[in-house]
Amino acid sequence: MSKRYRTIWISDVHLGTRGCKAALLNSFLKAHQCEFLYLVGDIIDGWRISTSKWYWPGEHNRVIRQVLRKSEKENTKVIYIPGNHDEFLRDYISEHNFVMGNIQVLDEAVHTTNKNEKIWIIHGDAYDGITRHHKWVALLGDIGYNFLLWSNRWFNDIRKHLRLPYWSLSKAVKHKVKSALSFIFEFEQTVVKEAKKRRVDGVVCGHIHHAEKKIIDGIKYFNCGDWVESCTALAEDQQGNIEIIHWADIGHLGANVVEFPAKGKGKGKGKGKAAKITAKALTKAP
């Protein structure tokens, strides 16, 4: 039986890459219902579409179909806030709302919880100095990060054969690196500073692949985490409380779920191709 929340936030799914834990995400979406579903950026990895590393097995299609099913059959309001990896969608956002099927696409949003708290929702790349001002450095970092995810995948394949639960090697490494911890701290401080300017009670973001829930300088700070390492989401219950769901830890799912094999790799030609693929996927009936 599925559990119902008022609101669910997910980010950094990176559909189109081998690192995406689509099978786990599908099990999560199937197990939960909600009134509001926020897709907080980097849902589809547009950086891979124009390369030979584009990877789209059937399990990735199932994620799209589950989101559509929620918007069309479960009366869930779905809001998609693009990030830097699916920034091609931002080109189609104007002063008017951009809608794909029943999915509303916005640069940012403000959500009111059942506690009547105003929560500002952004992906977060606009407050990451490296992504904003030195994209080539971000691209180099992306290469190294993908190697870490590749190592993580092999590491957990071995654990699965040993009947051990999923454990994020890449997350553990990242938490041991001082520069990574410093980057996370600076990102959180920058986002919270902007939230205070906007006079909101809290902020939900993604981008840094680090699930978090805490109060910083009087502002409630939440980060969705990701679906390539930790497999986490944020959820608001009917009382307005927001919690982190660590889905890979529930029932040792990470050790038992097997990704479907790829049915082929796709190649694109940049933003136009990416937008067409995304629009087609999001507007196709489940």
Torsions phi, psi of 128, nearest 5?
-110, 110
Query: Among 112, 135, 82, which residue's Cα sits nearest to residue 282?
Result: 82
Lowest mean pLDDT among 119-128, 136-145, 256-265: 256-265
Query: Residue 150: its pLDDT value, please?
Result: 55
Q: What DSSP character marks residue 126?
A: G
**pLDDT on residue 170:** 54
The pLDDT of residue 269: 45
pLDDT at 257: 39
Q: Is the pLDDT of residue 111 over 50?
A: yes
Average the pLDDT over 76-93 and give the result.
Answer: 90
Q: Residue 252 pLDDT more than 90?
A: no
pTM of the model: 0.75
Domains identified in the chain and CATH numbers: 3-283 (3.60.21.10)
Worst-scoring range by mean pLDDT, 192-201, 230-239, 264-273?
Answer: 264-273
Query: What integer best gives the mean pLDDT of the chain?
Result: 79
Q: What percent of the chain has pLDDT over 70?
A: 67
Does residue 182 or residue 34 have the better pLDDT?
34
Which of the four pLDDT bands, split at 50, 70 and 90, describes residue 168?
low
Reply yes or no on whether the pLDDT at 78 is more than 70: yes
Mean pLDDT of 142-150: 54
d(CA 80, CA 158): 35
Give 119-130 pLDDT, tens digit per residue.
Answer: 999 999 998 754
170-173: Cβ within 8 A, 24+ apart: 170/145, 170/229, 171/209, 171/229, 171/230, 173/148
